[in-house]
Amino acid sequence: MAVFHTKDISGSSFLVTGGAGFIGSHIVEYLLSNGAGKVRVLDNLATGSVSNVNLFKPYHNYEFLEGDIRDANTCTAACDGIDYVTHQAALGSVPRSVKDPVTSNEVNVNGFVNMIAAAKDAGVKTFVYASSSSVYGDEPNLPKTEERTGNLLSPYAVTKKANELYAAVFAKLYGMNVAGLRYFNVFGPRQDPEGPYAAVIPLFVKGILNQTPVYINGDGEQTRDFTFVENAVQANIRAMLCDNEAAFGQVYNVAVGANFSVNFLYNAISDMLSINHAPTYREPRSGDIRDSLADISKAQHLLQYQPTQQFLDGLKLTVEYFMGNR
């Protein structure tokens, strides 16, 4: 992975909530590999993986705290002695939130407020958090620009928009350095292919490899700005270590700035695996947006964010990872 910072972080302490999860574990890996003074992970392992926790045990500067962000005391303990927080802990998945909006709200909204309040009280330097492209809702214009959103289409989208609203208030009211990252369909190694809410790329790879049914919702012509996880890591690192005061109190699209259809994705994976396995089409999924494409100029300008991995390059690395871990 490329290096995305120039600042000496050997004397700095970092908290990664959700660090046993997919994106969080990649942020942890970057920080530990690049000499961070201390990296603490807070995760309740509800959707995170023990195998991700164990990856980092050899590092003397790594701490794992098993706990739930819905508990305010846990959040306070996690922020003790911390300089920078990147808040990745959440219950992901639009369908999960449609089925159980209450739990999504408890984790993603109540848990978020617990975390940002604990970070404020601990006097952390910067608080970065994961938002989502789902906040664009039914806004029809492409590409998506941060200032223009539509009607929200799922409880999950509501929770992420609530995060942004709380963050803006904490930034203004308490003078906190806060930055939100609207992820666009992040994918990569260690993304879980199991369970009812697994993401599309690991599901496709697993199904094609095993010759089991693979489902495409709708006609497959819906488009997404698929974003390799290294790009999401870069955005987090640049936002946490940013010295540009104008960059705080903002939300940023984290993507590549190119979109591809689900059908194109499926065929690309099939080609990389050299397996011809037809998908099964079914009804469109409720709460889903039709097309997604990000304008990343704001992040480029204020955070110096620049994607290092394009879609097909990242997809190749991801497919190779899953083939090696069969």
Tens of pLDDT, residues 39-96:
999 999 999 999 999 999 999 999 999 999 999 999 999 999 999 999 999 998 888 9
pTM recorded for the entire structure: 0.96
* pLDDT tens by residue, 166-182: 999 999 999 999 999 99
Q: Is 252 a catalytic residue?
A: no
Q: What is the pLDDT confidence band of residue 122, given thresholds at 50, 70 and 90? A: very high
Q: What is the pLDDT confidence band of residue 196, given thresholds at 50, 70 and 90? A: confident
For the chain, the maximum distance between any two Cα atoms, rounded to a whole number of angstroms, is 56
Higher pLDDT, 156 or 197: 156
* pLDDT tens by residue, 99-121: 999 999 999 999 999 999 999 99
pLDDT over threshold 80, residue 286: no
Cβ–Cβ under 8 Å, residues 227 and 258: no
Q: How far apart are CA 43 and CA 92, in angstroms?
A: 14
Catalytic residue among 156, 166, 266, 305: 156
Sequence spans of domains, the chain: 13-186+227-255+295-308
Q: How far apart are CA 272 and CA 315, in angstroms?
A: 9
Taking residues 127-131, what's their average pLDDT?
Answer: 98
Was domain 13-186+227-255+295-308 assigned CATH 3.40.50.720?
yes
- Write down the mean pLDDT value for the chain: 95
